[in-house]
Amino acid sequence: MKIINAILSVAVAVALLLTGCAIGKDGQSDSSSSLQTASEALPVIKPDKSLTEKLRYIVHGGGALTAKDDYGYERSFAGSSSLEGITACAAAGVTAIELDFNFTSDGHLACVHHWGNEYHSSFSADAPPTLEEFLKCKIYNNFTSICLDDVAQFMRENPEIVIITDIKDRNVEGSAYIAKNAPDLVDRFIIQIYDKSEYQDVRSYGFDNIIYTLYALNWNEKNDFATIGKFARSNPLVGITFDHSLCSVEGYTENMLKIGVPVFVHTVNESDMINGYFADGISGVYTDNIINY
């Protein structure tokens, strides 16, 4: 009987020890939001290494281009998402280009960050142009306007290049538009999502390559590493991207890297900062510089 009691005591002790992993000292479930707990509880998804390497430098908005301003002075224009921008990227051997997309008034995807008059004096957020009107405009009064059809043709002519989308308005609808109008290229479009709720819809349109950008999250959400980590492990991602200024927050980079998927930062143009981020373990940077390979 003593032997049986001893065996039962050991069994109970082991059970309590195992239960202690999930039960706090107060007897309640441990709801700790620590990144370490989230990391240990979920399987790690291995990213596509070859794609990650291609995304080391992501040229933001087609890159910075030099042209004359309205006063006749040479200056740099960033984020044109123009024909000249993507052409310059291809000539430099760039493999990853981020482009801005917005819907025209007649329901087409145009390459423009938003309908602000800094891009063209006739643009208005209250009354976007039609596609025909847009294509007649020069971005920054210098560069050739393009739409999804132009981007798709460019991608077919440059099969080594992938496009990262920035569709801040009606992102899911924009993803559906791309899938419908360029179905042969869904594997080379990398869709950025701004909220976890967009993920399943975007995947349903055939896009396996998705980047989760923290751009639209509030401060608390950006610092909720456990929630971000759980989502990243449950939903395959190319990576997570956030503003590079967050790297100056103590422990932020380290906590993001512990999630186990590639981490990208935007937008960085100084070479010493870029190299510093790489040294810290950041996989890639969005930059206005058209890097020559």
Cβ-in-10-Å burial (0-12, 13-18, 19+) of 266 comes to buried
Helix ranges (DSSP H) in the chain: 2-19, 35-41, 49-54, 83-92, 131-135, 148-157, 171-181, 199-204, 219-222, 225-234, 252-257, 271-279
pLDDT of the residue at 126: 85
Question: How much is the pLDDT for 46?
Answer: 56
Distance of alpha carbon 264 from alpha carbon 252, whole angstroms = 13
Q: What is the reported pLDDT for 157?
A: 98
CA atoms in the 13 A half-sphere facing the CB of 194 = 14
Q: What are phi and psi of 60, to 5 degrees?
A: -75, 125
Residue 119, class by beta-carbon neighbours within 10 Å (0-12 exposed, 13-18 middle, 19+ buried)? buried
The whole-number pLDDT of residue 41 equals 43
CATH topology of domain 47-287: TIM Barrel (3.20.20)
pLDDT at 292: 67
Which residues in the chain land under pLDDT 50?
1-45
Q: Tell me the pLDDT tens digit for each residue of 52-91.
A: 999 999 999 999 999 999 899 999 999 999 999 999 999 9
Whole-model pTM: value is: 0.84
Report residue 264: phi and psi, to 5°: -120, 155
Q: What is the pLDDT of residue 254?
A: 97
Q: Where are the domains of the chain?
A: 47-287
Q: What does each C-alpha distance from 71 to 67, 75, 78, 140, 291 come to in angstroms?
A: 11, 10, 18, 12, 28
Res 20: pLDDT:
39
